[in-house]
Structure 1
C-alpha cells in the first residue's frame, strides 16, 4: 500500500538529488557526530537504516526535521513487520503535522495509520483513518503531487474489493498525469518524476484489471509501464520496477500460465534479499508456492510457503497472503506424505481462516483457480482431528462408557423429540422459502416492467444481472446441479458470465456463497425424491449422496445436517415413522 507514498516522499522531499543517490551505507561503528543533521537524514533516506534515525531522534531537531525522521522510521518499521511501534511513530507524526499544518504530513500520517490497522486486520479502524485523510488531498499543490495523493487514497477501494471503482479512479489519475506532460505543465527538472509516477500508477492499474480478470487491459498497462521503465530508467532497481516484475508474475499466474509466472516470482524473491524489498519478496514467495503446487512440484511449493511463514510480513492487500501461505504449506505437506507437518500447518490455517471471518477474501485465489482440492481442506482437517481425539481419549472413553449407556436411553428420547421439531420446522421453512423466492422473482419481473415504463422508479439490478438471475432460475428448475463435477467456473461458463460476477450475484441475491447455494439445491432435490418416491427411503445414504451430486457420504451428511439440523438417517427415520 505504501509503494506510491514511498515514491512520493523520495521525490517530493529529496527531489532525486544526485548527491543522495551516491551516499552509501556506513559502518554502524562509524562516529555519527561528524555528520550534520541534513547529511544524516540523507543517509537514512537512501540506506533505510534505523541507526541514523535512532541517533537523529536524540538530537535537537526542527519541527520539519522531526516530521521527516518520524515518517522514515515509521516506514522502516512497517517493512520489518513491527506494526504497533510503526503506528506509534505515525501517531506522533500526526501530532507534529497538526503543528506544522503541512497537508503532506497530515495526509501521509493518517493514511499510514490506516495501512497499519489494515495490516493488523482491524478493518473498521483502518476505514476510519483512511477517510480522515481524504480532506487533505485537495490541499496538495495541483499537479503530480495531488495526482499521486489521489492514487494513494483510492487504494482503499482496492483493499475493500471494489476493483471496478478502483480501476476507474486510476484511469482518471493516469490521464491527469499524461495531460500534465502533454500540456507542458511540468518543467524539465521534474520529467523523471512525472514518468516514474505514470509508470507507478500504470502498475497499480494492471493489478486492478487482474483482479477483474480483464487480461487484455492488464497486458496493455504492463506494456505501457515497461516502455517507460526501459526507456527512462534502464537497469535501475526502483520500487516501481520491482513491483512491476511481481505484477508480471501475477499476470501470468492469474492466466494460469504458471511456468511463465514462476521466473518473475523467483527474481523478486532474490531482489528481496539483495535490495531490501521484503514486502514484495513475501508476496512473491507465497505466489510461487501456489504456482509450484499447481504444477505438482510439491517440494518447491512447500519450500516457498515455509520461507514465507518463517519471515512473515503483514501485507496491506485484498488477498490474505498469510492465509494462503498456511493453506499451501498444508496442501504441499499432505501431498508429500509429511503427516506431522500437514497437521501442524492445518491447525495454523484453520485458526487464521476462522479469525479472518471473510470467505470471499480468504478464498479469492482459490475461486480464480477453482482448485477443488483446496475446497476439501476443511473436511479433511475435521476428519483428522476426530481421528486424533479418538486415539488420544480412547482409554478415558472406556472408563465413562457405562455412565453414557445409562444416560443414553433418556437422552435418545429427548433427542428424537428435538429432532422431530427440527424437521417439522425445516419443512415449514422450506415451504415458506419457496413462497418467498417466488415472490422475489415476481417482484423482479414487476420492477423490471415498471422501470421500463417509469424512469423515476428506484434503481434495480442491471440487465446483465437480471439475465443471470433468470438463467439461475432455469438452472434451479433443472437437475444440472446434481452433476458432481458442477463448479463455480462450470456454472459461470454455462450461464455465459465469469466466476467473479457469478460469485457476487449469488452472494448478493441468494445471500450465500457458491458451495452453500449448490449444496442447498442438492439437499432440496433429494428431500423431494425421498418424500415423493417411497423407494428412496430404502436406499443407502451413500447412494442418496451420489444421486444428489455429492462426491462422498461424509460431505453429503455434513451438508444435509447444515441445511436441516439433523442427519440423513434421522430424517429418514422421521419420515418412516410419520407415514405409519
Structure 2
C-alpha cells in the first residue's frame, strides 16, 4: 500500500522510459492483466513510470480510481517535461472533483494547475489559479491534508519573493502538524504520512530562511529535516531526501562555502542518474556552475552550465535557473577565452529575457549587465577578426538594452510620482471630508463642489422631508451598514423611511452621484480607514479586502477603488508600506 502524499512538492517522481517490441508488449499486457487497479496504481507510484497508468487508463475505472489516475499521470508528465499534457489531466481532475463534490482532489488539481502555469511562465494565470484555490483550502476538514495544502498554497508567496510570509505561514503549519503528532492518534501509514509531511514543511522553512540569508536558522531546520528522514525513512530515495541535499547545497552556496556545496550537489547528480530525478539534477547543475565559477574552476563551470542548458527542465521557483545557466555559461566562456561561445550565450540570455512576461525578472538583466565588463570584452575580441560582427551585434544589443532600461526607469519614476500625487490628494480629501461631518468621498475625477452645493442651500429652503433624509444619510455614512453586501437602493430607502425615487433624487442632487457610486465611495473610504489603522490589513489579499468592504468580487472592488482614488488597490497598499503607515 503506497503512502498518502501531497500533490505538488512532497514527492515529485521521475519517469523511467520503457521500450519493448510489439510481441513483448503483448506479453507484458497479459502479465499486467492479473493485477488489480489498486496494484497497478501502486506499481506506477513505486516505479515512477507511466507504463502501468497507460495500461490502467484502458480499463473501466471507478470515479475514485479515475481521480488517482489523473493525479498520478499529471505528476509523472510534469517530471517528463510534458506540461501541456499534464495540464490536461489536472484540468480533468479539477472538473471531475467539482462534479463529485470532492474538495480534497479539487484543491490538489487547482494547486497543480497553478504550478504548471508558473512553470510555463504564465505568471498571471498562475496567480489567478492559486487565489481560486485558497477558499477551497479553507473549507477542507482539519487535518494533515489541509495543513499540507496550506503549505503548498504558501509556495506562491515564495514564488512572489515574499519570503517572510512564506516562513511565517509554514511555521504555523509546522505548529499544527506537531499538535497532531503529539496527540498520538495516528498509526501505520498515516503516521508515516505525517512524518514525511513534517519533513517537507521544515524544508520549506529552511528554504525561506536561506533566501533571506538567515543561514543559522536555515541550517538548524535542514538538520531537523535530516534527522526525521534518517530516523523514520533510513532507506528513502524519494524526492524528500534529494530535496534536502539540494537545499544544503544551496545553503552553502549562498554562504560562499563552496567546498561544502559541491559534494551535496554532486551527490544529487549521481542520484539523478540512478533514480531519474531530473528536476533536482537540473538545479544541482546550475548551482555547481555557479560554485565552480566562484572557485575559479571555469572549465567545470562551463561544463555544468552547458549540460544544464541542454537538459533544461521547466521549474517553479523564484530563482530563474534557465537564466542563471545562460549567465554562467557566458561568464565561464569569457573567463577561459572562448569568445564566440561567450557572445552566443550572451545573445541567448538577452533573447530569453526579452521573451519574459514577469517584470521582476529584469533584476537578473541588471545583474548580468554589471558582470559583462563590455570594454574588456571588446579588447579580448579585437584579435579575432572573424568575431567583429558578433562583437558589434553584442555591443549594440547591450546599448539598446541599457537605454531601454534607463528609459523604463524614468517612466517608472514619473509614473510613481503621479501615483503618489493622486494618493496624497485623495488622502487630503479624506481628511477634509472628516471635518465636513461625514460627507461621502467623491471620485477624484469629479469637481469638488458637492459639499459646496449642499452648503449653499440654506436649511430653511429645503423641505422638511429632504432635510430629515439628509440628516439620516449623514448618520448612515458614519455607520458601517453600507458594507452589507445586500445593500441596495430599496434597502436603504426602507431604512431611511422613504421611497427609492425620492432617495435617488436626493443622492443625485446633494451628493452629485448615482446610488452605486455613493455606496462604493463609502465602502472605499471604510476599507482605507481599516488599512491605515489596522496594519495587518496591508498583508491581506485584494479579494479579502473586497469581501470585507462589501463588494461581490475582486474586479468590481478594484474598478470602484480606482474610480474613487485614481489608483489601483495594489498601488495604494505599496504607497502605505513605503510611507510606513
Shared fold (TM-score, shorter chain, > 0.5)? yes
| Maintained 8 Å contact 2:103/2:136 | yes
Judged with a 3 Å threshold, the aligned counterparts in structure 2 of structure 1 residues 6 and 114 are, in CA distance, closer, same or farther, namely closer
The yes-or-no answer on 1:221 pairing with 2:221 is yes
What is the aligned counterpart of 2:371 among 369, 374, 388? 374
Aligned residue runs from structure 1 range 53-132, under 5 A: 53-132=53-132
SS at match of 2:323: helix
Equivalent position of 1:251 in the other structure: 251
Q: CA deviation at 1:136?
A: 2.1
Aligned residue runs from structure 1 range 147-546, under 5 A: 147-187=147-187, 190-356=190-356, 358=358, 360-361=360-361, 363=363, 374=371, 376=373, 387-388=388-389, 459=532
CA distances 1:23-54 after superposition (whole Å, capped 9, x unpaired) = x9998532333333222222112112112122
Judged with a 3 Å threshold, the aligned counterparts in structure 2 of structure 1 residues 4 and 216 are, in CA distance, closer, same or farther, namely farther
Q: CA deviation at 1:156?
A: 0.8
Judged with a 3 Å threshold, the aligned counterparts in structure 2 of structure 1 residues 39 and 192 are, in CA distance, closer, same or farther, namely closer
| Maintained 8 Å contact 1:333/1:341 | yes
CA distances 1:500-543 after superposition (whole Å, capped 9, x unpaired) = xxxxx99x969xxxxxxxxxxxxxxxxxxxxxxxxxxxxxxxxx
SS at match of 1:319: coil
Quote the Cα distance in structure 2 between the aligned partners of 1:139 and 1:509. 35
TM-score if structure 1 supplies the norm length?
0.62
| Maintained 8 Å contact 1:93/1:105 | yes
Q: Tell which has more relative contact order, 1 or 2 (C-alpha 8 A, sep 6+).
A: 2
Segments of 5+ residues of structure 2 without an aligned counterpart are 394-406, 432-528, 536-573
SS at match of 1:141: coil
Aligned residue runs from structure 1 range 132-143, under 5 A: 132-143=132-143
Q: CA deviation at 1:363?
A: 4.2
Quote the Cα distance in structure 1 between the aligned partners of 2:532 and 2:374. 40
Judged with a 3 Å threshold, the aligned counterparts in structure 2 of structure 1 residues 362 and 208 are, in CA distance, closer, same or farther, namely farther
Q: CA deviation at 1:129?
A: 1.0
Aligned length: 400
Judged with a 3 Å threshold, the aligned counterparts in structure 2 of structure 1 residues 264 and 373 are, in CA distance, closer, same or farther, namely farther
SS at match of 1:356: coil
Q: CA deviation at 1:114?
A: 0.9
Equivalent position of 1:524 in the other structure: none
Quote the Cα distance in structure 2 between the aligned partners of 1:357 and 1:140. 33
TM-score if structure 2 supplies the norm length?
0.61
| Maintained 8 Å contact 2:327/2:368 | no
CA distances 1:164-186 after superposition (whole Å, capped 9, x unpaired) = 11110001001111111123343
SS at match of 1:351: helix
